[in-house]
Every structure is written in C-alpha cells, then in structure tokens.
Amino acid sequence: MDFNLNEEEQAIHDLTAQILGDKSTHERLRQLTADDDRIDAEAWAALAEAGVLGAAVPEEHGGLGLGYLATAMALQQVGATASPVPLLSTAVMGAMPIAEFGTDAQKAAFLPSIADGSVIVAAGLYEEGTLPAEPETVAVADGDGYRLDGVKPMVEAGLDAGMLLIPAKTADGSCAVFLVSTDAAGVTATRVDVTTRRPVARVELAGVQVGADALLGDGTTPGAEIVQWIELRAQTAICMMMAGAARSSIELAAAYTKERKQFDRPVATFQTVSNRAGDSYIDTEAITLTAWQAAWRIDQGLPAEDAVSIAKWWAADAGFRVVHAAVHVHGGVGVDRDYPLHRYFLMARQMELTLGNGEEHLAALGRSIAAG
C-alpha cells in the first residue's frame, strides 16, 4: 500500500491549496456570507481554469483523465479552507458517475461543460425515511420517455445546479438514475436554510417529462448499484473534507494558545490545554490516514466498503471532537461567529450528521467481519 501521490495528483492537491488559499480567505468568505452568495464564483472559475474540476473527466471530454484520488485530495483542501465551492456534488456525484456509467452521447453532452465549470451538478440521492437506492420518487414510462414525480428534501448545490442526478423507482420497483435539467418544466427548487449558513434546496418534481436518453447509462447496470457506487465515493470525499477541516481547526487552536496568555504564560503550556491539543492531533491523523486509505482503495479499484466504514467512523466520531476541542481552548473567542473557527465547527457538525452515527459504521464493520 503506497500512499505517495504521483506527480499529477500532487499537482492537483497543490493547485487547489494555492487557489483556495488565495481566493477563499476569511475576509472573502465573510463577504460572501454577508452578500448571501452561495458559491465563491471566483474560486470556482479558478479551479476550472486549473483543471481541478475536470481532474477525473476523461481527456477526450476536456478533462485530465486522472483517478478518484486526485479529486479526493482537492476536496481535502476544500475542507481545509471551508470554501463554498460545489466540488463534491459536481465532480464526485456528477462527473464521475457519468464518466463511469454514461453512454457515449451522455459523456459528450455533459462532461465538457462540467470540466470547464459552466455546469454545476446536484445529486438528489436522499429522501425521508428510505435509503437512496430505494427511492420513493417515481418514474413512470410515458411515450418514448418517463414522467418523474417526487421530492428530494435536502439537495446540496440544488439552488445553483444546471443539472440534477435523480434516483427514482420504476414500474417494476427497481431503481433507475436520471439526468434532469433544472430548467425542465415541473422542477422546483426551494431554499432551505441549514446550520452551516449555506442553504440547500428542496427539489420537487411534479410531472417532469424526460426522454429515454435521460436514463443514466445503457440499462445494463442496475440503478441501485449506481447509487451505491456514488454513495461510496461521496462518503469518502466527505471524510477527506473532514480531514482538512480538522487540521485547519487544530492549527488555529495551536496559533491562538501560543499567543494567549494567562498568569504570564501562554495557555499552550498548561497541561490540560496541551493534552487536548495532543489528543486532537492524534484524532486528526487518524481521520486523515483512514480517509486516505479508503480513497486509495477506491482509486485502485480494490474492495473499499470496510475501509470506508472505518473512515466514516473516525470522521464522524473524531472530527467533531477535534473542532469541539478547538472551540474550548479558544475560550470566549471560540464562540465568536465571525471567527474562522466557527465555519469549521458548523461544517464538521454537518458532515458528522451526513455521515451518520458512529455506531452505525461499527455495526456495518461487525456485519462484514461476521460474514467474512
């Protein structure tokens, strides 16, 4: 197992770090929040120009033809800067499944515009009370195409997307995945404000007519398998983002506790503070290494389900613990909503809830061990 990045992967990592470090500064993000801008358009355009958005897009469709790991490394930097760019939804949940399962016509139609940043993709995987691969949204055959009806209550980047990826239940009860333009008649996206202060969309599909060519792929791969394929990569990407957010949080805490003094001593020298910093460092290393392992196995085409469960447990359980400790050692400054740490706190909380309860991941590992 070799976690060393190749030249292209390292370049994507470094380019993303440089672009987001320059563009997504604290002052810039504060202004975006004040202006209610959901996406940092300048950073998004710069990522597109540098080739980051198309890292996993095949070269014949305007991308760089790199593997999953390159984009995962870019997403670690998105987490490290708390940058409001829809790289997860567009690159991982949009471009990758189209490149993997799409027909030649679908690849030619969508991938170039994703790679150049002109189209944002949002994936409406989740519904209330059911699994993503078992949707309640329905797709009824209608003439030469389908009619879609249903609700996707929490769609990240759904307010800005030009295209939606929608799993739906067909007449035989199986799952199929559709590519739906947000301009299609019957598609409504309503703003939903969440704790991160980055709104998501409630997407309603009311009699949305799509052609047969909107069905992702040629029908040989079951839609449930496609959804699970996307979930595995999206969840690992969130773990990578958590690794970046955790590392930035402890760096903020380290810098602050070295400068803040009590009793004429930096608070970093107090045993309780140094112990919490040490625990946070260990947690952050564990989050990073397990996320890298999961991403590497996916990139290499190896079975990754257990590795992803391990990474999810560390990200969900330890990620929030790291940012919580960082808030504590900052004292009153830690609860200042205008201080950069607050963004990481909110981001980590959202990612923890998105990944699910840590006990769920341990149970999944237990079932895997028992079966194997």
Q: pLDDT per residue over 95-146, tens digit each?
A: 999 999 999 999 999 999 999 999 999 999 999 999 999 999 999 999 999 9
> Domain for residue 40, yes or no?
yes
| Residues 231 and 362 grouped into a single domain | yes
> Domain for residue 298, yes or no?
yes
User: Is 365 in contact with 309 (CB distance < 8 Å)?
Assistant: yes
CATH, residue 282: 1.20.140.10
Q: According to the model, what pLDDT value does residue 3 have?
A: 63
> Domain for residue 318, yes or no?
yes
Over residues 137-161, the pLDDT tens digits come to 999 999 999 999 999 999 999 999 9
> Domain for residue 348, yes or no?
yes
Poorest-pLDDT segment among 33-42, 161-170, 198-207, 237-246: 33-42
| Residues 335 and 199 grouped into a single domain | no
Over residues 14-59, the pLDDT tens digits come to 999 999 999 999 999 999 888 888 899 999 999 999 999 999 999 9
pTM over 0.85: yes
Cα separation, 88 vs 65, whole angstroms: 17
DSSP state of 162: S
Q: According to the model, what pLDDT value does residue 178 have?
A: 98
> Domain for residue 1, yes or no?
no
| Residues 185 and 234 grouped into a single domain | no
Number of residues that make up the chain: 372
Q: Exposed (0-12), middle (13-18) or buried (19+): which is 285, by Cβ within 10 Å?
A: middle
Domain boundary among 152, 184, 214: 214
Domain boundary among 214, 244, 259: 214
> Domain for residue 85, yes or no?
yes
| Residues 134 and 263 grouped into a single domain | no
Domain boundary among 76, 102, 119: 119
| Residues 207 and 241 grouped into a single domain | no
> Domain for residue 2, yes or no?
no
| Residues 238 and 289 grouped into a single domain | yes
User: Is 119 in contact with 182 (CB distance < 8 Å)?
Assistant: no
| Residues 261 and 349 grouped into a single domain | yes
Q: Is the pLDDT of residue 1 over 60?
A: no
| Residues 244 and 329 grouped into a single domain | yes
Q: According to the model, what pLDDT value does residue 331 have?
A: 84
Cα separation, 306 vs 309, whole angstroms: 5
**Domain around 94:** 7-119
The number of distinct structural domains making up the chain is 3
> Exposed e or buried b for every residue in 235-258, given b needs 16+ CB within 10 A?
bbbbbbbbbbbbbbbbebbbebbe
CATH, residue 131: 2.40.110.10
| Residues 103 and 40 grouped into a single domain | yes
| Residues 48 and 165 grouped into a single domain | no
Q: Which residues pair with 261 in a beta bridge?
A: 266
| Residues 78 and 193 grouped into a single domain | no
CATH, residue 15: 1.10.540.10
> Domain for residue 109, yes or no?
yes
Q: Which residues are CB-contacts of 116 (< 8 A; sequence separation ≥ 6)?
A: 48, 53, 54, 62
| Mutual angle of helices 68-81 and 271-299, in 10-degree steps | 150
| Residues 232 and 361 grouped into a single domain | yes
Over residues 315-349, the pLDDT tens digits come to 999 998 999 999 988 887 878 888 889 999 999 99
